[in-house]
Amino acid sequence: MPHRRSIVSTTLITVAITLAILLSLEGLSRILLTVRADLSSQEPDWYQYASDIGWERRPYFKGLVGGERHSHDSSRYLRQFDAQGFFSEDTQQIHDTAHKRILAIGDSNTFGWGVPTRSAFPEVLDDLREDADVINLGVSGYTSFQGYETLAKYFSTVQPDLVIASFSFNDRRVVPSEEAIDSREKFNREALSHQFDLVREKLYLFRVVQSLVSILRPDKHRADSLVQVDARNAKTRVSPEQYRQNLERIARFCRERQVPLVFVLFQDNPAHSEHLRAGITHMNNGQYEQAEAELRVAVNLDNWFSELGRKYLALVLDHRGASEEAKSVATLTLPVGKLMHGGRPLRLDSEYNEIVRIVGREHGATIVEAGQAFAQDASLYLDLAHPDERGHRLVATMLNHALDGLLHNPQVAAQPRAD
């Protein structure tokens, strides 16, 4: 009898150990497969953080840019960058000595947000001109500050005979504090804070701790990440004064190297800002009742220009003696730590475009008024500010006409090559 009990006990222990091993192996397999799927499922972003210019195109990236609209075949919108972050379409042209080279710096309108790479105006211009290659260094989200840094960083690589520059929208975007204004210090801080993003995203332990913190202290977490600012005096990524200084730095940089400069001016979509502009016009004409009505509509639309509507509605209410309501209307709530690109615009495109015209006149730069052409036909826009493929063709055509005299200037033709 004791012998039989011993056999049963041994058998039960063996079964238990076997089950425990199998369960452990099953658990380990599940973990390994989950980790493997997690590591392989996430495509890298098209950009990477950089301490000097905030962010830049990711070398060797091939894929779709998040947030872009793809009206039909998404394969048309694939982006591909080379080892230096240039569009693959431009790689050979950088080393071509048979043609003049044109460098285009700018924001998402230059990058070609929402249209295929070959349909962005720099590439369309490239197709229009047999005597020149156009290198597109536009990057979505860029301001004039980043534009100057880009020009200084890549000029010697591209050695352009002419520079096209276009900035404004991102310069005008609201930020929560002085520290969020574009600067080398800001971008260096951001780059350092994102150094270990990949590790943090993939570590399960870090995710668990982060989840526990948000569950245990949700109110504090939300309060720490938000700040309130007054739209009437809030900061933008680049102030009007700094915007002018950045454009002047670009202009001086080009002039010192005897390279012609062309500024392209865009405007916000008038169909998205109609009530805002009407309200401001009434306000400037002293028609405050009509101004208030239009600006309330602009605010209630809750689109990209509604915070500008709040700013001007608060000014109208102040004028009419409704200071408490003005204060409430002007209050904006912004995230503190997640506003690298800034919020919505808080200054008018007309204010910044006039600065471009002034700098252009003073420094001998050519101005191409693309925004004025778009204002006649809002269907040329994809959305609040980006042109569609027809709009890009229009910009390229306007630039093509402007470049004839500039590219064949004797002074330009005499420029030496250091290839």
* Mean pLDDT across 309-326: 97
Per DSSP, the three-state class of 58 is coil
Q: Given a cut of 70, is residue 32 above it in pLDDT? A: no
**405-408 contacts at long range (C-beta below 8 A, 24 or more positions apart):** 406/162, 406/260, 406/262, 406/366, 407/100, 407/102, 407/129, 407/131, 407/132, 407/161, 407/162, 407/260
- Would you mind telling me the total number of residues written for the chain in this entry? 419
Tokens of 122: 């720099």
Under 8 Å between Cβ of 99 and 379 = no
pLDDT at residue 68, rounded to an integer:
81
User: Helices (DSSP H) in 265-387: which residue ranges?
Assistant: 274-284, 288-300, 306-319, 323-330, 349-363, 370-374
pLDDT at residue 416, rounded to an integer:
41
Among 18-22, 197-201, 344-348, the range of highest mean pLDDT: 344-348
* Mean pLDDT across 7-13: 74
Q: Given a cut of 70, is residue 39 above it in pLDDT? A: no
Average pLDDT of the chain is: 88
Q: Given a cut of 50, is residue 399 above it in pLDDT? A: yes
pLDDT at residue 34, rounded to an integer:
57
Q: Given a cut of 80, is residue 77 above it in pLDDT? A: yes
Residue 141 CA to residue 113 CA, distance in Å, equals: 10
Domain extent listing, the chain:
1-41, 70-182+218-414
Strands 100-106 and 79-80, bridge-based pairing: unpaired
* Mean pLDDT across 373-402: 96
* Mean pLDDT across 355-381: 96
pLDDT at residue 413, rounded to an integer:
38
pLDDT tens-digit map of 190-228: 999 888 765 555 555 555 555 666 667 655 445 458 999
DSSP symbols for 131-188: TEEEEE---TT--HHHHHHHHHHHHHHH--SEEEEE--TGGGBEESSGGGSS-HHHHH
* Mean pLDDT across 256-280: 97
CATH topology of domain 70-182+218-414: Rossmann fold (3.40.50)
Amino acid at 272: H
Residue 33 CA to residue 50 CA, distance in Å, equals: 33
Q: Given a cut of 90, is residue 40 above it in pLDDT? A: no
pLDDT at residue 346, rounded to an integer:
98
How far does CA 256 lie from the centroid of its chain? 29
User: Residue 94 gets which letter from DSSP?
Assistant: H
Strand ranges (E), 185-297: 226-230, 235-236, 261-264
Residue 24 CA to residue 28 CA, distance in Å, equals: 6
Q: Given a cut of 90, is residue 236 above it in pLDDT? A: yes
pLDDT at residue 414, rounded to an integer:
35
Q: How confident is the model at residue 109 (pLDDT cuts 50, 70, 90)?
A: very high
Kind and range of the H or E run holding 335: strand 331-335
pLDDT tens-digit map of 407-419: 876 444 334 444 4
* Mean pLDDT across 94-123: 95
